[in-house]
Chain A
Amino acid sequence: AQSVTQPDIHITVSEGASLELRCNYSYGATPYLFWYVQSPGQGLQLLLKYFSGDTLVQGIKGFEAEFKRSQSSFNLRKPSVHWSDAAEYFCAVGSVNNAGNMLTFGGGTRLMVKP
Chain B
Amino acid sequence: NAGVTQTPKFQVLKTGQSMTLQCAQDMNHEYMSWYRQDPGMGLRLIHYSVGAGITDQGEVPNGYNVSRSTTEDFPLRLLSAAPSQTSVYFCASSPGLPRSSYEQYFGPGTRLTVT
A residues with CB within 8 A of B: 4, 6, 9, 32, 34, 36, 41-46, 49, 51, 90, 92, 94, 96, 98-108
Residue pair B56, A100 in contact (C-beta under 8 Å): yes
Q: Are A100 and B102 in contact (CB under 8 A)?
A: no
The docked-state distance in angstroms from the alpha carbon of A96 to that of B108 is 26
A25→B50 CA distance, assembly (Å): 25
> Which DSSP category, helix, strand, loop or mixed, fits chain A's interface?
strand
CB-CB under 8 A for A107 and B42, given A44-B90, A99-B50: yes
With contacts A42-B108, A43-B90, A46-B103 known, is A102 near B43, CB below 8 A?
Answer: no
Tell me whether A43 and B41 are in contact (CB under 8 A). no
Query: Distance in Å from the Cβ of A53 to the closest Cβ of chain B?
Result: 12
Residue of A nearest to B6 (CB): A43
**How many residue pairs, one in A and one in B, have C-beta atoms under 8 Å apart?**
67
Q: A49-B103, A100-B101 are in contact. List 10 more A-B contacts (CB 8 A).
A: A6-B42, A49-B102, A92-B42, A94-B102, A101-B31, A102-B58, A103-B43, A104-B45, A105-B35, A105-B43
What are 20 A-B contacts with C-beta separation under 8 Å? A32-B99, A32-B102, A34-B103, A41-B109, A43-B107, A44-B92, A44-B104, A44-B106, A45-B106, A46-B104, A49-B102, A90-B42, A99-B50, A99-B54, A100-B48, A101-B31, A101-B102, A103-B33, A105-B35, A107-B41
